[in-house]
Chains A and B, each alone.
Chain A
């Protein structure tokens, strides 16, 4: 086990090195766009030599005037020291500071989504499994299929459409619509709840549907096992059988999904952050990659996301082996 963890840790660093190199290379393929965006409409007053200067200045400001190997060296040596560089737009703040400011909302939203998903999936999945092929099962399965099929962002948009066009006079848009500003939980709890409620519900419904299907099929499998039949034969109560014998075993694969979701929350849910105006990491990196190109920001976010992803994966695998003694790592 110890050896396995050490090996995985080493491999994780290899992966991170690859990620850093790939994102660096991908951004350098076209470094003219950010330069010309930064130069804006600078024409040097129509003077061609002055206009060239606009580009030189912009290139220097963006840290792109050095040779590519030099830039790579600077970037990598910075990374090793834990320095992600400075933003090339606006206030030129350190990327680590920018990420620190934005990671909170993303993680909060991600966790809330998982909570919502679990709250929905647990009872629904269990009921649907133990009442297999009854009308309630069909009803619940239909809903989960519909939620699986209809993309989260369409659900979000349609809900906003319905709320604001047909329920504009009620309190609903206030609580479930996009908010004008964002406040963190410590600043203004009520505002924070308003910010998070709708995206957590909409996002949680989608993931909840996945979990529910998983839990249902696992439950069905477990319920047919011999030891469950034995438990029935012993005359145990249904509640005890389901909670003690079946659910415990059926939950392990569900944990895997939760793990995967945990790994992905750092990168944020771009679409929901965009629609509900949550200043999270997904929103940040999307605008840093498209609207106002900011290489250090994109590099930094990708590396931080990869870092958390590989280590959470490791944690999950370790936890998995611990939860299920049948799994052995060598």
Chain B
């Protein structure tokens, strides 16, 4: 990371000398969300000593703004007068871009979680991802932390008087839901639905493996339910706070018969069935679904009858509405919009090059962090040449992760191990990861290259099959030629390496088929996860739902099961480290699990906001927009002057 920025800064100064007096503006494309993706992490891995000492390095200067969640500055402040209420928050984000379905239990598209998370509530929610303990998985619809009777039984008590949204439109579309009180039945319905083997939509319940760990869901009374799991499941508390754990009313689901003859069982009423999916977005959250215009804007309106967590007297949410406008603007425009206060928050994936200058003359808050999501390569380990551990390890060592960071991530991304660095609690510490072969720099990197070549030649210098690169985001296929060239250089491979840009659906299709000519080696972006279990269990467990690698290692299976049974969070963390070391080939490089997946880098970036915007929190994953309930715009703040609207 340091080299990129040192160079950037040097050049910036020299360029400035050339264009005297002109401010070089600019930074990357938007990932600007108020509460959503792009949030805090415990700082960049390897906050390299060289970088922080250099006063010219912009990242060194913004380091101090990298606020940790338990920091005092993160403690919410409440408005004292009416000048802290009302107004519409505006930001640029992916929220209006919806490439997936509307159903809260079926979508796996981040921006959609973000929109839904402010509309639908869950039993529990994350307050921070730093420590996934009781302290940070806090009650949302539940009254308090679950009462754990034994390792199998959870008793959850609900808040009383929680009401579903109520507007004119909802009253005419769904008279039975409008303003109805939420009861234990709704939770049982939402949890049963996602594990229902008879549903016509069964294939689309992406988290059904989480809900199939449940044995029984029993209603004790209207506000109490008892959940029993089949086996001790340590991550179960996380399941109740996970992104698809939203509680929806039964009535909004279209249960008319679909073309398969079964009830349709989806919120996405198809064809001309009324009401429209957007009109079915009825939950108990702080904001109500208003309007989503694809690619243009998404608007959510205040829910005046929201239950208000532990303190309804505060009158949250403070905002009248929030509005996310389409992404795709270029870097200069984003800066200019932020400067004019037409947007309250600006987000970036690319260079925050203009931030340091901007912070010199303006009092703004910059939060930097890493996104939970990463670039990786998957091998089918039953196919040649990847059935040979030496080939996999050779490629693992040959990949120049620093180059991925510099080219795709403009130096703001970070190298990534088997668990994304954004999930700082579970991820292998940077001190250890960045010193490993394949991740290290300088002279040691040269040793890795030599070793890669040796292993590759030892395996008989096999040809590589066609590599499938994902066609979105654009940067992946643009990087493809550079990637292939650097791999060929390190391995000393002279022949042609073919590659192709294909859509994710095709990759997914190729991965589940057994043929080796389809998706034998793929290169793409994967959604990040929250809990240790999400990152490894579905991927590497024998027969797991995401095990496209065809790996089966009894030793590793046992490790995966052990972490599920370990309720002590510190001990579980240690087990997680062992799992990652195993995946990185430290424990047993010849295991089929080792290097079945190559992990490259995770997106980094930051968001900048004006000080009049209060209580902003950010998360490394999408789906935390309920926290917008705390956000308010302080019209008395000096920085507020000049904000239009």
Which residues from chain A sit less than 8 Å from chain B, CB to CB?
A: 33, 36-37, 39-48, 50-51, 53-54, 56-57, 60-61, 63, 65, 86, 88-94, 101, 160, 164-166, 168-169, 173-174, 177-182, 277, 279, 283, 287, 291-292
Query: Given A46-B546, A160-B330, are A89 and B201 neighbors across the interface (CB < 8 Å)?
Result: no
A285 to chain B, nearest CB (A): 12
Residue B268, interface by CB 8 Å? yes
Other-chain contact of A91, B25, B292, B336 (Cβ < 8 Å): B292
A91–B277 Cα distance when bound, in Å, is: 5
B505 and A39 contact, CB distance less than 8 A:
yes
Query: Given A43-B511, A46-B548, A57-B204, are A91 and B332 neighbors across the interface (CB < 8 Å)?
Result: no
Query: Which chain A residues lie closer than 8 Å to B25 at the CB level?
Result: 164-165, 168
B329 and A41 contact, CB distance less than 8 A:
no
Query: Which chain A residues lie closer than 8 Å to B258 at the CB level?
Result: 57, 60
A90–B98 Cα distance when bound, in Å, is: 7
Would you mind naming 19 contact pairs between A and B with Cβ atoms under 8 Å apart?
A40-B100, A40-B108, A41-B507, A53-B203, A60-B259, A60-B270, A63-B271, A89-B294, A91-B102, A92-B277, A94-B272, A164-B26, A165-B25, A168-B23, A173-B336, A177-B336, A181-B325, A277-B329, A287-B294
B272 and A86 contact, CB distance less than 8 A:
yes
A46 and B22 contact, CB distance less than 8 A:
no
User: Contact residue range for chain B?
Assistant: 35 or more
Other-chain contact of A93, B19, B206, B276, B508 (Cβ < 8 Å): B276
B329 and A92 contact, CB distance less than 8 A:
no
Q: What does the 1/0 interface line of B510-521 toward A look like (CB < 8 Å)?
A: 011100000000
B544 (CB) vs chain A CBs: closest residue: A46
A33 and B342 contact, CB distance less than 8 A:
no
A279 (CB) vs chain B CBs: closest residue: B296
B18 to chain A, nearest CB (A): 12
Which residues 304-323 of B have a CB within 8 angstroms of A? 323
Query: Given A36-B505, A51-B509, A91-B276, are A177 and B23 neighbors across the interface (CB < 8 Å)?
Result: no
A63–B258 Cα distance when bound, in Å, is: 12
Which residues from chain B sit less than 8 Å from chain A, CB to CB?
A: 19, 22-26, 90, 92, 98-100, 102, 108-109, 200-204, 206, 208-209, 258-260, 268-272, 276-278, 292-297, 323, 325-326, 328-330, 332-333, 335-337, 340, 342-343, 503-509, 511-513, 543-548
Query: Given A37-B503, A164-B332, are A46 and B294 neighbors across the interface (CB < 8 Å)?
Result: no
A61 (CB) vs chain B CBs: closest residue: B270
B20 to chain A, nearest CB (A): 11
Query: Which chain B residues lie closer than 8 Å to A291 at the CB level?
Result: 99
A46 and B332 contact, CB distance less than 8 A:
no
B22 and A166 contact, CB distance less than 8 A:
yes
Query: Which chain A residues lie closer than 8 Å to B543 at the CB level?
Result: 46
A-B interface, 7 closest residue pairs, ranked by CB to CB distance from nearest: A45-B545, A36-B505, A164-B332, A44-B203, A91-B278, A180-B337, A50-B203
A47–B174 Cα distance when bound, in Å, is: 36
Query: Given A168-B23, A277-B328, are A54 and B296 neighbors across the interface (CB < 8 Å)?
Result: no
B295 to chain A, nearest CB (A): 6
